[in-house]
A and B are shown apart, each in its own frame.
Chain A
Amino acid sequence: MNEMHYRFPPASAYPLNRCLFALKSDDAFRARFLADAKAAMAEHGLDAGSQAALLASDRDALVARGAHPYLVFMADLRVRMARGTATFEYF
């Protein structure tokens, strides 16, 4: 069977997925991340490799470490929306 796009999230990646979930859905955490990313990531106990991948917005590296692709996608979008680095037309 070919590799699935969405796979069972390994338990070892729970802290990373928890951090991405918070970036996506927790406005206060996202604000803390924007102010001090290292300190925010430390709240979730991310290891150095995961921290580097997240700081670099390196999707492939994050997914390889067990991150859920959708969480990577939406966490990144929400951070860009909050930073104002992308413009949106709201309907």
Chain B
Amino acid sequence: MLVGAFACAHTPQLIARPETEDRELVLRVHAAFARVRRRLAMLRPDAIAVVAGDHVEAFFLDAVPALAVYAGAEAAGTFGPYEYRFPVHEPLARAVVEQGIERGFDLLYTQHARLDYAFFVPLHFTMPAPAVPIVPLHVNVYLPPQPTPRRCHAWGQALGAILGARPERVVLMASGGMSHYPGTDRYASPDFDWDRRILDTLRDGRGAELAALTGEELDKAGNVELRTWITVLGAVGAAKAEVYCYEPSWHHGNAVVEWAL
């Protein structure tokens, strides 16, 4: 069953803070992560299914899946001095692949690929003790052509049905967003107004409206990663979002959100 849903920023400056970043802002985002961690302890999940956009880490141009499921025994990666490793909930990962295919989603699955920091950063701050296994779910956000928001939402609806019918207590966590433009000439000018309008929509329980966004709109708003949120929105339906924090830095709209189910 699906017992909780969250969305978390994962910008690497939250874990490796350069001097360019406002320390107090970073700590406020950490406080929101700590709140998620406490909520996860209350929700007692058997697994956390993390929907994240791979930063060209597991998948380079040699093979670019739109949607992928990590179904190995464990998932590991590195980022700078961090070496991380998480057990994978294998029966759940396998069920997602098998039933996802059955439902018409032509998923890629892998049993060995490097785990991107997009998965690691939120878990570094929010994983309850004792740790629970994860299921990494990839959505292509950076290598065009990406899956459409409508397709992500439909995949989220399928995920909600698949996870909802399982005996395990499962939390869905989107990792990514909000507005930022890494590597582009707009890096220092995120679209915070756009983010705030989206957050208002989510607070109202109207997240399904995001399925009608286009890939061009997401790119223009610096929100290519919002595909991970839109995926989770497919699973949470009309649940209203509680915004734990929205902290705009000079280059990034950092948001942490929960949908109570």
- Chain A residues at the B interface, C-beta cutoff of 8 Å: 1-2, 4-9, 14, 17-18, 21, 24-25, 27, 59-60, 63, 68-74, 77-78, 81, 86-91
Report if A60-B81 is in contact (Cβ < 8 Å); known contacts: A4-B216, A86-B18, A90-B16.
no
Give per-residue flags for B168-207: 1 if the beta carbon is below 8 A from chain A beta carbons, else 0. 0000000000000111111100000000000000000000
Are A17 and B61 also in contact (CB < 8 A) when A88-B17, A90-B16 are? Answer: yes
Q: Is the CB of B216 within 8 A of A68?
A: no
Total number of residue pairs linking A and B with CB closer than 8 Å: 91
Q: Main SS of the interface on chain A?
A: helix
- B142 contacts which chain A residues (CB < 8 A)? 6, 68, 70
Alpha-carbon separation in the docked complex, A68 to B146 (Å): 14
24 A-B contact pairs sorted by A residue (CB < 8 Å): A5-B181, A5-B184, A5-B220, A6-B144, A6-B224, A9-B143, A17-B60, A24-B57, A25-B114, A68-B143, A68-B183, A69-B184, A70-B182, A72-B183, A77-B12, A87-B18, A87-B19, A88-B80, A90-B16, A90-B80, A90-B82, A91-B16, A91-B17, A91-B26
Known interface pairs A5-B219, A69-B184, A89-B23. Does A21 touch B56 (Cβ–Cβ under 8 Å)? yes
With A73-B182, A91-B14 given, name 5 new contacts (CB 8 A). A5-B222, A6-B144, A6-B219, A74-B182, A86-B18
Looking at chain B's contact residues, the main secondary structure is loop
Contact assessment for B15 and A69 in the assembled complex, using a CB-CB cutoff below 8 Å: no
Residues of B within 8 A of A17 (CB): 60-61
Specify which chain A residues have a CB less than 8 angstroms from the CB of B114 in the assembled complex: 25
A8 touches B145 (CB 8 A): yes
